[in-house]
Amino acid sequence: MKRNVYLDMISLEEAQNRLEDLYGTRRTQTETLLSCEAAGRVLAEPIFARTSSPGYHAAAMDGIAVKASATYGASEGSPLALTSGQDAFPVNTGHRLPEGCDAVIMIEAVNPITEGVFEIDTPAYPFQYVRKMGEDMVATELLFSTEHTLTPYCIGALITAGVHEVCVYKRPSVLIIPTGSELVTLEGPNATQPEPGRIFESNSHMLAAMVESHGGRAIKHPIIRDDLDAISACVKKAAEKEAVDAILLIGGSSAGSEDYARRVAEACGNLLFHGITIMPGKPVLAAQVNETPLFGMPGYPVSAIVAFEQCVAPLIASLAGRQLTQRPLAHVTLSRNITSRLGLEEFMRVKLGRVGENLIATPIAGGSGTLTSITEADGIIRVPPHVEGLATSDPVRCELLRPASLLDRTLVAVGSHDNTLDLIADAIVRKSGKTRLISSHVGSMGGIMALKRGVSHLAGIHLLDETDGSYNQSYVERYLPGKKLTLINLVMRQQGLIVAKGNPLGLSGIEDLTKKGVRFINRQGGSGTRILLDYKLKELGIEGKSIDGYTRDEYTHMSVAVAVLSGTADAGLGIYAAAKALDLDFIPVVTEQYDLLMESDILETPMGNELMATLDDKGFKMRVEALGGYSTEKTGTIIRRFVP
């Protein structure tokens, strides 16, 4: 079968330049809107004031209007009396000044003597507390130039200036065409898991929302199966007489034998590029069909997001005559070294939180198909194509996806994975409305090292001391001497073998992992679960190399459970809650202690107080126990304070 190849891989800058050269001066057609309905739109022609504001000399204060020259000579020793209706006229803010008056004396400086007689002890000066005619705007003056984006404030100015209607660029219309024989539509609230080989089509809805958020108008087309003629016919029709301003063809832009986007582009128009040296987003292509820009969007959602933001969003902004708003940047410190592919500019998704004076960035695992890697992200680090990675010591800039103020009230947890951390993250937001918790799963020893380097506030740990069967304390003493820390119990939990429903291989314990045909999935080195497994293997006299899959590892209990559910593994060591969540069977091995190791100083902050209040909350404990395999009897108990 014929496969596509990326014949003209170019840099992101070059791709953007090619689009700019073709479409940089193009604008959408125009339409006329009522001024009061035009917020957010871009002017297609300049706006001049039709009336002045104010249209008369107006009082700027409550008080009396006077002719300034008539008040000269007034002083504390020689107050001046004024008579209402003769040389003093009561006015309220906004009132037109009576004929012959050119100043206002505010009410606080006026002393009533008798009915209709006022006394002042300070003279007024011309146009004191007066809004002069045309002070804000003068009829015929330019209010806003062409391609000015109208803000809500601008609407007030338009109405004040007597401008009833405005001519604006139409919102760019973008046709979104999802393609793929594997796609199914999500219908109704009671959807079930699609049959193997089929997936819910979500990219068109996601991209439509992105089009709308960037000021465009999204038009969604029904799913088209993998049929070259049908896809080509749809694209040609959409490009006739410039029916839409842009076309997004989702899926089929990579190098598979059934990836038709390139063939459609070449058959219907002129290919501008296919493949950009970015990751995610590399397969994106662009073409021109009857003067209409066509984009072949990658099927992987994160790739589609990056391709949209870097190629489509600038085009939508340009067509509407607006400038694309750039995300704010911040200097960050990496929590760990990261690697990157040489020759590709990588858009690394990260979680962010302030620890001490530094904004700490923790990379989120996941490839182009892992949508949660972007939904959970606080920022994007762009790794240049000429480097193979970044070190914790490198100065790094990060594009912020969330307000900086939110990051200052973020508890950063780096350590072992446990499902209860997600419950804490939800509960603490519900309880405080301000503090949040983000967690990165690198294993218990990874959490210990993160605290040692000062890149986290707390770590989830469950490290078994093989000498006496205790948990955690000896590791803190060994690896973190001299640090002021507090060890708090989170849960007691069941660890065991996660196996397929019905336990088809009849496994009964760790010793059965060496049986022929049993495929194991392990946890990463340094994790408490890995240490527990090695301890049990040592007790049984079993070497790791005798277990098929001992060197295959995952970073979370849920990932282990998914491996068993999908059939890529027959067993994995993990917590009961993970097995229960995916309706798998579970063979208990041990009840272990899972603690939070936290910087003691953080406990004295509002964030620390809110965390402890969450751990003590009965509702939170009930939700934890409902997961299965947990005991919350000691949850929130301070086990030990470590002092320098």
pLDDT tens digits for range 139-194: 999 999 999 999 999 999 999 999 999 999 999 999 999 999 898 888 888 788 88
Q: What is the C-alpha to C-alpha distance for residues 587 and 629, in angstroms, rounded to an integer?
A: 12
Q: What is the pLDDT of residue 373?
A: 85
**Three-state SS at 338:** strand
pTM equals 0.83
Strand partners, 199: 183
Judged on CB neighbours under 10 Å (0-12, 13-18, 19+), 612 is: middle
Which residue type sits at 36?
C
Ranges of beta strands (E only) in 559-584 are: 571-575
- Do residues 140 and 183 make contact, with C-beta atoms less than 8 angstroms apart? no
**Three-state SS at 541:** coil
Containing H/E element for 493?
strand 485-499
Question: Hey, what CATH class is 58-131 in?
Answer: mainly beta
Of 459, 460, 330, nearest to 401 by C-alpha is: 330
Q: What is the C-alpha to C-alpha distance for residues 458 and 451, in angstroms, rounded to an integer?
A: 7
Two tokens, residue 283: 């397969």
Radius of gyration of the chain (CA): 34
Containing H/E element for 392?
none
Two tokens, residue 56: 């008369």
Which residue type sits at 528?
G
Distances (CA, A) of 45 to 275, 449, 479: 38, 60, 68
Q: What is the pLDDT of residue 2?
A: 46
Of 432, 580, 585, 610, nearest to 497 by C-alpha is: 585
Strand partners, 274: 285
Q: What is the C-alpha to C-alpha distance for residues 28 and 171, in angstroms, rounded to an integer?
A: 7
Q: What is the C-alpha to C-alpha distance for residues 350 and 377, in angstroms, rounded to an integer?
A: 5
Q: What are the extents of the domains in the chain? A: 12-26+172-186+198-319, 30-53+136-169, 58-131, 329-408, 457-642
Ranges of beta strands (E only) in 25-164 are: 30-34, 47-48, 58-59, 63-66, 80-83, 89-91, 103-106, 111-114, 117-120, 130-131, 142-144
Distances (CA, A) of 367 to 58, 348, 370, 392: 64, 10, 5, 22
In the Cβ-directed half-sphere of 629, how many Cα atoms lie within 13 Å?
Answer: 28
Which residue type sits at 215?
G
Q: Which are the contacts of 534, defined by CB distance < 8 A and separation ≥ 6?
A: 544
Strand partners, 360: 333, 353
Distances (CA, A) of 208 to 141, 248, 282, 370, 373: 40, 10, 21, 19, 20
Q: What is the pLDDT of residue 189?
A: 82
Give the angle subtended at the CA of 264 by the CAs of 262 and 270, to the nearest 5°.
75
Specify the pairing of strand 199-200 against strand 183-184. Answer: parallel
Ranges of beta strands (E only) in 164-255 are: 165-169, 173-178, 183-184, 199-200, 217-220, 246-250
- Do residues 565 and 571 make contact, with C-beta atoms less than 8 angstroms apart? no
Q: What is the C-alpha to C-alpha distance for residues 595 and 598, in angstroms, rounded to an integer?
A: 10
Specify the pairing of strand 520-523 against strand 396-400. Answer: unpaired
Task: Tell me which architecture the domain covering 12-26+172-186+198-319 has in CATH.
Answer: 3-Layer(aba) Sandwich (3.40)
Of 264, 258, 252, nearest to 294 by C-alpha is: 264
- Do residues 332 and 356 make contact, with C-beta atoms less than 8 angstroms apart? no
Q: Which are the contacts of 318, defined by CB distance < 8 A and separation ≥ 6?
A: 20, 23, 24, 26
Which residue type sits at 285?
L
Two tokens, residue 339: 């690697």
- Do residues 289 and 239 make contact, with C-beta atoms less than 8 angstroms apart? yes
Residues 18-42: b if buried by 16+ CB within 10 A, e if exposed: bbeebbeeebbeeeebebeebebbb
Residues in the chain with pLDDT values less than 50: 1-3, 257
Is the bond preceding residue 314 a cis peptide, omega within 30 degrees? Answer: no
- Do residues 495 and 590 make contact, with C-beta atoms less than 8 angstroms apart? yes
Tally of CB atoms within 10 A around 276: 28
Of 160, 124, 133, 162, nearest to 58 by C-alpha is: 133
Two tokens, residue 111: 């002393």
Q: What is the pLDDT of residue 3?
A: 47
**CATH among 1.10.287.470, 3.20.20.140, 3.40.50.720, 3.90.105.10 for 30-53+136-169:** 3.90.105.10
The per-residue pLDDT for range 271-288, each reduced to its tens digit, is: 999 999 999 999 999 999
CATH number 3.40.190.10 given to 457-642 = yes
Q: What is the pLDDT of residue 345?
A: 94
Fold annotation for 329-408: Beta-clip (2.40.340)
